[in-house]
Amino acid sequence: MTLQFSLASAAPETVDSPCVVVGVYENGLLTSAAARIDGAAGGVIKRQVESGDINGKAGSVTILFAPEGVSAKRVLVVGLGAQKSFDAARFQKVNIEAARALGKLPLDNAASWLTELDVPGHDAAWRVRTAALAADYAAYRYTATVKPRDQGKPALTTLAFAAADDAHVGLDQARGIAEGVRFARELANLPPNICTPAYIAEQAQAFADAHDKVSCRVLDHLEMEKLGFGSLLAVGRGSVNKPKLIALEYRGGAESDKPYAFVGKGITFDTGGISLKPGPGMDEMKFDMGGAAGVLGGFVSAVKMGLPLNLVCVVPSAENMPDGDSYRPGDVLTSLSGQTIEVLNTDAEGRLILCDALTWTAQTFQPVSIIDAATLTGACVIALGKHASGLMSKHDDLAAELLAAGETTLDRAWRLPLWDDYQVQLESGFADMANIGGKSAGAITAGCFLSRFTDGQRWAHLDIAGTAWDEGRKGGSTGRPVALLAQWLIDRAGA
């Protein structure tokens, strides 16, 4: 369940709360809220600054218990770093650290004055929205297959932010985006024996059933075979969990308006197929449906915010397994578009399910724009690491819109070239194209492959292989690029 958010207008020293949150910069500079607390409590914060117990280092936290003169039972002092370099990324960081610290305390509600901080280039609505999303991100706990921990201990459920009423739009957006991010994280974190193509279809149908203006259509492998989804179906041939094509429709705009479209890679587990992956780290291949989770989360956010536009979300979903009936290196597949593909590596399967889904989406919905998201290539992780998603598009205006949405939400992307110079790497002597382009520019040639199925479409591709999840045994889904996609839709609705 997402955190509940509200706005607070009272003075920090007068709020009767289990905890109030204020900030202190490096060099002992107190924010206005911290100064008010300090004045009411007889200089308690300044004394700790002077003793070195509060150093103002960005993200550091100090808890003051029951300070005299202050109505709150606790004051959480968060370090903000140097004031002269305080920016949007630091603002997000300190709010995440504050929420983490609150989550360790035995309380169910708190109030934060961090939203009064000056963040260059951003207004109060942005500050409230960013703080709320940071807090909800930190508060998320995966519990679907884990026994609840700390039973009986109060858990943070409500958080108030200091801001005027004009920041309410940020709070409303935060509620919707937070639900989308949680939807994406929970779906991606589920183990692959639960989160199968059929399970994703069930979750999509359940969401449609629970919301007006939303409908769901699911194509099974038999229907796709009749329609000619030769590329998608080949990927799922080796698994007992049969492929599904899931399409959600939201009618929030005028009946005559063309929809925007999201398409997300939904490989619920990727062994690599016959081109088998190495064993170490293969457990993380349950996250190979991160693109599907991300676009579904973006769809959920749009519905929850009630955006006045039409939106479709298409998820091609399959499991890539080795089997006697698996597709092989050397196979030639006929895609839904009619173009043939020589399979050189069965571990380059994401583009094979996406190409048919992109073709079907364009034919079925004639969308204004198509954005696809996929944990597509390890090459993108090498190029950009875990910080930025790779963005590719032949449409400069669309690329600019997505980059701007990423900057606004701090769910950032970086544009890579999609020049025709790279297309030669996909040439094949036995089909219209090969499914890989060799060792060099792997993320770009994957984008070039997809571009062959989007002729005439205003289309962009997001490679989220580095950003969709955190690695390691305790790593989990990040929910990216839900915030980016949601902001892009907010901008389109505003335009």
Structure tokens at 147: 């026994």
Q: Which two tokens stand for residue 111?
A: 């109030």
Beta-strand pair 389-393/413-415 = parallel
397 marked among binding-site residues: no
SS3 25: coil
Residues in the chain: 495
Name residue 74's beta-bridge partners: 65
- Which residue carries 């149908």 as its tokens? 205
172 in a labelled binding site: no
Alpha-carbon distances of 154 from 20, 109, 157, rounded to whole Å: 17, 9, 9
Task: Judge contact between 110 and 54, C-beta under 8 A.
Answer: no
Could you tell me which residues come within 8 angstroms of residue 441 by beta carbon, excluding any fewer than 6 positions away?
A: 379, 422, 425
> Which residues are tagged catalytic?
277, 351
Cα gap 237→39, rounded to integer Å: 70
Spell out the residues 6+ positions from residue 432 whose beta carbon is closer than 8 angstroms to its own. Answer: 339, 340, 341
How far is residue 159's CA from residue 129's CA, in Å, rounded to a whole number? 12
How far, in Å, CA of 180 to CA of 482, rounded? Answer: 7
Provide the 8-state DSSP code for 440.
T
16: left (phi over 0), alpha (psi -120 to 50) or beta: beta
- For residue 179, say whether it is annotated as part of any ligand binding site: no
Alpha carbon distances (Å) from 114 to 12, 32, 80, 90, 411: 11, 10, 10, 12, 21
Q: Beta strand 74-79 with 20-24: parallel, antiparallel or unpaired?
A: parallel
347 is in an annotated binding site: yes
Q: Which two tokens stand for residue 304?
A: 């929850």
Question: 158: helix, coil or strand?
Answer: strand
Q: Is 270 annotated as a binding residue?
A: yes
Closest of 336, 310, 304 to residue 230, by C-alpha: 336
Rounded to an integer, what distance in angstroms lies between the CA atom of residue 127 and that of residue 131?
6
Radius of gyration (C-alpha) of the chain in whole angstroms: 24
The residue type found at 54 is I
Beta-ladder partners of 219:
245
Q: Are 62 and 48 spatial neighbours (Cβ–Cβ below 8 Å)? A: yes
The four Cα atoms 339, 246, 393, 181 give a dihedral, to 10 degrees, of -160
Residue set of the binding site for Mn(2+)? 265, 270, 288, 347, 349
Residue set of the binding site? 265, 270, 288, 347, 349
